[in-house]
Chain A
């Protein structure tokens, strides 16, 4: 396994993904070349069916590419076994889903503890302290003993963020995190993600909403499985100023 000095956190080269249904191939991603460094806040944006979620699933080790290369922390991820991928998921990445995916009728504490059950780094005795720290980070300390179904949508998504934080992962993937929330709750969730980015977390946001994507410093646009643009805030600002001048 080759390891490069000062390699990007995520690097894909000529990455393709197709789904197969009884020998019928449905190509989803074409020739994706991407570099994301540690500490970035990236939004992957595109309309429904563009392949943005598939890309996130591959980058988050929930799925594997059909072709091409995907290096994580400078290390090739090809030929990793299912258990090795599970280990990377437990230690290096975490997810915030559109539909929260909390365990029903289960307390906030137990929901946030869940990733630690599969995480080798934390002793059972230290779990509660870690969990409470994550719950505090999303401002839900006073709701820690509530059951997940006793919380509002915004609160549930904050619990999901706490769950994503608790293992102190390298990357947090957020798949349409505001999709099921009203605008106020959505704004609050985005503020939390922004704060986490400012604290040094790498955040990869998948969304189809421009306003949500605008929170990110870099926006990668996907259309029909191709990357069509990859802009930083600075580039976007220049572009909009040029537009105004015209």
Chain B
């Protein structure tokens, strides 16, 4: 018997009992659908976060003051919020493993223009930050070294902030209030969307020197910089320098010590952490999918056993007409595999369809959330579905093949 004939018979059997076939396939459909959906959502999320990391640049290194860095909430709540001082910044600038050291001071205080008010983050930082996180002005200009040297009261607005305060009119040259000081708007930033769930279009940048004078502070809230070579070397140098300057005993083993009053992280490290998260997520999904496919497989085995009993006379007839054990075995095995493959394909399409809906909704809230699929996971899910049919189809198929033709023909 040719394989094509066997597949045709299997397809006819599946078509002959449509409702039952569909119910039988349900476990497989849900299993494969869940895998496709979850991995696709994971892939989309990963592309969002990876996109943000690559927007930062893989060589970006950030330093936060405090025991555990920004994870602990606002830096000012941390007992070591003032650990990174202006003289630390000068020392950091002398390291040759990093360049473009851009300290940041966050200014507090109401931002307003006339009667319009905006609740927005105001960061005072140097023009180096425009190199660390490349950005251009779509209107006016970015602030430069001269603005820093003169400590000018100038501000660059994010596009959303500009729209909030000025509507559709141009903000260039207008004077806004930040706290009790007046600043002249010199530029509007290009749109960057959100990064790490923070809207980058809703912010104000002022010269670092201006912010330092306005806040009367001798410490910074954050330092952005860029490794000139390997980011790991840059982190080593920064840790060595800051520990020496802060009289912290370096850890005997490992890289981190609880004594540190600062935290250094590179974008590369963030990417690695993401990789670990993604691996555990994949393992979790695989586990759920396996359970679901096993449950689906038991359903397939059950219904195939019913089919063997129902079609005992047919099996007897086929044997009487010359079908060998192998032909019957293959017929029922292929029927089980066809069921699971069809179930797998339906699950795949269902997963992709649901993913498309989720993308449609999520892209409204998350910039760069695009339709992405994990092709390997999709192929693996389909193969696993087919494998389930093969494994759980063997027992009923063997039962069918072992029937004696005469007894099968007599079966009532």
Contact = CB atoms under 8 A, between A and B. Distances in A.
A51 to B, nearest CB: 14
A167 B322 CA distance: 11
Interface in B393-412: 404-406, 409
Contacts of A57: 406
B2, B318, B320, B322 interface centre (most CB from chain A within 10 Å): B322
Contacts of A94: 321
Contact of B325 (A63, A82, A105): A82
A4 B131 CA distance: 100
Nearest to A119: B322
B254 interface: no
Interface string B310-351: 000110111111111111000000000000000000000000
A89 B321 contact: yes
A86 B319 contact: yes
Contacts of A101: 313, 316-317, 409
Interface in A19-54: none
Contacts of B90: none
Interface stretch (A69-77, A110-118, A226-234, A235-243): A110-118
Given A62-B406, A101-B409, A124-B2, A83 B318 contact: no
B1 A118 contact: yes
A83 B324 contact: yes
B320 A118 contact: no
Contacts of A95: 320-321
A130 B113 CA distance: 92
A89 B322 contact: yes
B5 interface: yes
B324 A118 contact: yes
B314 A62 contact: no
A151 interface: no
A89 to B, nearest CB: 5
A86 B322 contact: yes
A57 B406 CA distance: 7
B323 A86 contact: yes
Given A89-B320, A118-B322, A105 B406 contact: no
B73 interface: no
Contacts of B318: 114, 118
Interface string A82-117: 110011011100110100010101100000001101
B16 interface: yes
Given A83-B325, A95-B320, A117 B1 contact: yes
B290 to A, nearest CB: 37
Contacts of B319: 62, 86, 89
Nearest to A110: B12
Interface size class of B (residues with CB under 8 A): 20 to 34
Interface in A170-223: none
B22 to A, nearest CB: 18
A107 B320 CA distance: 20
B405 A62 contact: yes
Nearest to A91: B322
A63 B406 contact: yes
Contacts of A114: 317-318, 321
Contacts of A119: 322
Contacts of B12: 106
A86 B322 CA distance: 5
A89 B319 CA distance: 8
B320 A62 contact: yes
Interface string A149-164: 0000000000000010
A86, A95, A119, A167 interface centre (most CB from chain B within 10 Å): A86
A168 B321 CA distance: 12
Contacts of B326: 83
Contacts of A62: 319-320, 405-406, 409
A117 B5 contact: yes
A101 B5 CA distance: 20
Contacts of B16: 105
Nearest to B317: A101
A90 B322 contact: yes
A115 B322 contact: yes
Nearest to A90: B322
A118 B240 CA distance: 80
A106 B314 CA distance: 12
Contact of A118 (B313, B316, B327, B404): B327
A95 B313 CA distance: 14
A28 to B, nearest CB: 12
Interface string A105-144: 1100000001101110000100000000000000000000
A200 B313 CA distance: 31
Nearest to A102: B317
Contacts of B405: 62
Nearest to B327: A118
Nearest to B12: A106
Contact of A103 (B314, B320, B409): B314
Given A82-B324, A101-B409, A103-B314, 20 more contacts: A60-B320, A62-B409, A82-B325, A83-B324, A83-B325, A83-B326, A89-B322, A95-B321, A101-B313, A103-B317, A105-B16, A114-B321, A115-B322, A117-B2, A118-B318, A118-B322, A124-B2, A124-B4, A163-B321, A167-B322
29 contacts: A62-B319, A62-B405, A62-B406, A63-B404, A82-B325, A83-B324, A83-B325, A86-B319, A86-B322, A89-B319, A89-B320, A89-B321, A90-B322, A90-B323, A95-B320, A95-B321, A101-B313, A101-B316, A105-B16, A114-B317, A114-B321, A115-B322, A117-B1, A117-B2, A118-B1, A118-B324, A124-B2, A124-B4, A163-B321
Which are the 5 A-B pairs with shortest beta-carbon distances? A90-B322, A118-B322, A115-B321, A86-B324, A89-B322
